[in-house]
Amino acid sequence: MKTDFLTRMASALLFCACSYCAFPQSAQEKATGRTLVAEMETINGRTTLFINGQPHDGIFCSTLAGNMQEFIEAGFDVFNIIDGGNPWVADSLYDFKETGEYNLDNIIDNFLHEKPDAKIIVRLTYGYPRNFWWAVEHVDQQAVPHWRNLGRKMPSYASMKWREEAGKALEVTVRHLE
Protein backbone atom coordinates (compact mmCIF):
# COMPACT_ATOMS: atom_id res chain seq x y z
CA MET A 1 0.00 0.00 0.00
CA LYS A 2 2.85 2.39 0.84
CA THR A 3 4.47 1.58 -2.52
CA ASP A 4 1.18 2.32 -4.31
CA PHE A 5 1.02 5.76 -2.65
CA LEU A 6 4.65 6.50 -3.54
CA THR A 7 4.08 5.41 -7.13
CA ARG A 8 1.05 7.71 -7.42
CA MET A 9 3.00 10.63 -5.93
CA ALA A 10 5.97 9.97 -8.20
CA SER A 11 3.65 9.77 -11.22
CA ALA A 12 2.14 13.14 -10.27
CA LEU A 13 5.61 14.66 -10.08
CA LEU A 14 6.52 13.05 -13.41
CA PHE A 15 3.44 14.64 -15.00
CA CYS A 16 4.33 18.03 -13.53
CA ALA A 17 8.00 17.77 -14.42
CA CYS A 18 7.12 17.00 -18.02
CA SER A 19 5.24 20.29 -18.17
CA TYR A 20 8.60 22.03 -17.80
CA CYS A 21 9.83 20.79 -21.18
CA ALA A 22 10.05 24.05 -23.16
CA PHE A 23 11.76 26.36 -20.69
CA PRO A 24 15.35 27.31 -21.42
CA GLN A 25 17.97 25.91 -19.09
CA SER A 26 19.10 29.40 -18.10
CA ALA A 27 17.70 32.90 -18.21
CA GLN A 28 20.40 33.93 -20.70
CA GLU A 29 19.81 31.27 -23.32
CA LYS A 30 16.92 31.10 -25.73
CA ALA A 31 14.49 28.23 -25.68
CA THR A 32 16.17 25.41 -27.53
CA GLY A 33 13.20 23.16 -27.93
CA ARG A 34 15.03 20.50 -25.91
CA THR A 35 12.65 18.42 -23.91
CA LEU A 36 13.22 17.59 -20.30
CA VAL A 37 12.88 13.83 -20.01
CA ALA A 38 11.36 12.55 -16.77
CA GLU A 39 11.05 8.81 -16.28
CA MET A 40 10.21 6.44 -13.47
CA GLU A 41 12.40 3.37 -13.03
CA THR A 42 12.62 0.73 -10.36
CA ILE A 43 16.07 0.62 -8.77
CA ASN A 44 16.71 -1.96 -6.02
CA GLY A 45 12.96 -2.38 -5.60
CA ARG A 46 12.29 1.35 -5.25
CA THR A 47 10.52 3.58 -7.70
CA THR A 48 12.99 6.31 -8.67
CA LEU A 49 12.48 9.49 -10.63
CA PHE A 50 15.05 10.14 -13.35
CA ILE A 51 15.36 13.58 -14.92
CA ASN A 52 17.42 13.67 -18.12
CA GLY A 53 18.89 10.27 -17.28
CA GLN A 54 19.94 11.19 -13.74
CA PRO A 55 18.26 9.92 -10.57
CA HIS A 56 16.41 12.66 -8.69
CA ASP A 57 15.07 12.56 -5.14
CA GLY A 58 11.71 13.84 -6.39
CA ILE A 59 11.46 16.42 -3.63
CA PHE A 60 10.07 19.76 -4.72
CA CYS A 61 8.73 22.84 -3.02
CA SER A 62 5.64 24.93 -3.54
CA THR A 63 6.60 28.53 -2.99
CA LEU A 64 5.83 32.13 -3.70
CA ALA A 65 8.43 33.81 -5.89
CA GLY A 66 9.45 36.01 -2.96
CA ASN A 67 10.59 32.96 -0.99
CA MET A 68 12.61 31.27 -3.73
CA GLN A 69 16.04 32.15 -2.33
CA GLU A 70 15.45 30.23 0.90
CA PHE A 71 14.49 27.11 -1.04
CA ILE A 72 17.42 27.49 -3.45
CA GLU A 73 19.77 27.74 -0.45
CA ALA A 74 18.14 24.61 1.00
CA GLY A 75 19.10 22.72 -2.18
CA PHE A 76 15.79 22.50 -4.03
CA ASP A 77 15.83 22.45 -7.84
CA VAL A 78 12.16 21.66 -8.60
CA PHE A 79 9.82 24.55 -7.86
CA ASN A 80 6.04 24.64 -7.94
CA ILE A 81 5.42 28.38 -8.34
CA ILE A 82 2.18 29.31 -6.59
CA ASP A 83 1.91 32.91 -7.74
CA GLY A 84 1.87 34.44 -11.15
CA GLY A 85 0.08 31.70 -12.99
CA ASN A 86 -2.70 33.63 -14.70
CA PRO A 87 -2.08 36.03 -17.57
CA TRP A 88 -5.79 36.10 -18.59
CA VAL A 89 -6.82 39.68 -17.80
CA ALA A 90 -10.00 40.16 -19.89
CA ASP A 91 -11.99 38.50 -22.66
CA SER A 92 -9.39 37.33 -25.23
CA LEU A 93 -6.71 39.52 -23.58
CA TYR A 94 -3.55 38.03 -22.11
CA ASP A 95 -0.67 39.90 -20.49
CA PHE A 96 2.46 37.86 -19.81
CA LYS A 97 4.68 40.87 -19.02
CA GLU A 98 2.48 42.97 -16.75
CA THR A 99 3.85 44.27 -13.49
CA GLY A 100 2.69 43.04 -10.15
CA GLU A 101 1.96 39.63 -8.70
CA TYR A 102 0.78 37.98 -11.94
CA ASN A 103 3.87 38.55 -14.07
CA LEU A 104 4.37 34.96 -15.21
CA ASP A 105 7.31 35.50 -17.59
CA ASN A 106 9.33 37.58 -15.13
CA ILE A 107 8.71 35.17 -12.27
CA ILE A 108 9.99 32.27 -14.40
CA ASP A 109 12.97 34.36 -15.59
CA ASN A 110 13.81 35.27 -11.96
CA PHE A 111 13.81 31.62 -10.91
CA LEU A 112 16.04 30.68 -13.85
CA HIS A 113 18.35 33.62 -13.17
CA GLU A 114 18.80 32.57 -9.53
CA LYS A 115 18.87 28.82 -10.28
CA PRO A 116 19.74 28.14 -13.94
CA ASP A 117 19.06 24.39 -13.60
CA ALA A 118 15.64 24.91 -11.97
CA LYS A 119 12.78 22.68 -13.04
CA ILE A 120 9.62 24.74 -12.87
CA ILE A 121 6.09 23.54 -12.35
CA VAL A 122 3.78 26.40 -13.25
CA ARG A 123 0.57 26.39 -11.24
CA LEU A 124 -2.01 27.91 -13.55
CA THR A 125 -5.07 29.31 -11.81
CA TYR A 126 -7.99 30.70 -13.75
CA GLY A 127 -10.47 31.11 -10.93
CA TYR A 128 -11.02 33.37 -7.98
CA PRO A 129 -9.80 36.04 -7.27
CA ARG A 130 -7.83 36.85 -10.43
CA ASN A 131 -10.79 36.33 -12.73
CA PHE A 132 -13.30 38.24 -10.65
CA TRP A 133 -13.81 40.35 -13.80
CA TRP A 134 -15.26 37.29 -15.56
CA ALA A 135 -17.83 36.68 -12.81
CA VAL A 136 -18.87 40.35 -12.90
CA GLU A 137 -19.38 40.18 -16.67
CA HIS A 138 -21.29 36.86 -16.50
CA VAL A 139 -23.65 37.27 -13.55
CA ASP A 140 -25.69 34.22 -14.55
CA GLN A 141 -22.55 32.04 -14.45
CA GLN A 142 -21.40 32.89 -10.90
CA ALA A 143 -20.89 30.81 -7.81
CA VAL A 144 -20.36 31.75 -4.18
CA PRO A 145 -18.28 29.22 -2.29
CA HIS A 146 -20.09 28.49 0.98
CA TRP A 147 -16.79 28.15 2.80
CA ARG A 148 -15.49 31.53 1.62
CA ASN A 149 -18.44 33.86 1.25
CA LEU A 150 -16.74 37.24 1.40
CA GLY A 151 -19.46 38.87 -0.65
CA ARG A 152 -17.53 38.24 -3.86
CA LYS A 153 -18.62 36.05 -6.67
CA MET A 154 -16.42 33.70 -8.64
CA PRO A 155 -16.90 31.86 -11.92
CA SER A 156 -18.86 28.66 -11.49
CA TYR A 157 -16.77 25.68 -12.48
CA ALA A 158 -20.02 24.01 -13.59
CA SER A 159 -20.53 26.73 -16.22
CA MET A 160 -19.86 25.42 -19.74
CA LYS A 161 -19.16 29.00 -20.85
CA TRP A 162 -16.54 29.36 -18.09
CA ARG A 163 -14.97 26.01 -18.94
CA GLU A 164 -14.73 26.85 -22.64
CA GLU A 165 -13.26 30.32 -22.07
CA ALA A 166 -10.90 29.21 -19.29
CA GLY A 167 -9.86 26.28 -21.52
CA LYS A 168 -8.98 28.74 -24.29
CA ALA A 169 -7.01 30.83 -21.78
CA LEU A 170 -5.14 27.70 -20.69
CA GLU A 171 -4.37 26.85 -24.33
CA VAL A 172 -3.03 30.37 -24.99
CA THR A 173 -0.86 30.21 -21.88
CA VAL A 174 0.58 26.79 -22.70
CA ARG A 175 1.38 27.89 -26.27
CA HIS A 176 3.09 30.98 -24.90
CA LEU A 177 5.19 28.91 -22.51
CA GLU A 178 6.17 26.50 -25.28
Name the residue range of residue 85's domain: 2-125
Same domain, 32 and 108: yes
Mean pLDDT in residue range 1-28: 41
Does the pLDDT value for residue 121 go beyond 80? yes
- How many folded domains does the chain comprise? 2
Taking CA atoms, 119 is separated from 17, 76, 104, 115, in Å, by 7, 9, 15, 9
pLDDT of residue 86: 76
Same domain, 66 and 14: yes
Same domain, 149 and 168: yes
Say how far apart CA 131 and CA 170 lie, in whole Å.
13
Contact criterion met (CB below 8 Å) for 89 and 95: yes
pLDDT tens digit sequence for 154-175: 888 889 999 999 999 989 988 9
Contact criterion met (CB below 8 Å) for 154 and 144: yes
Same domain, 44 and 118: yes
- The sign of the torsion formed by the CA atoms of 145, 153, 175, 34 equals negative
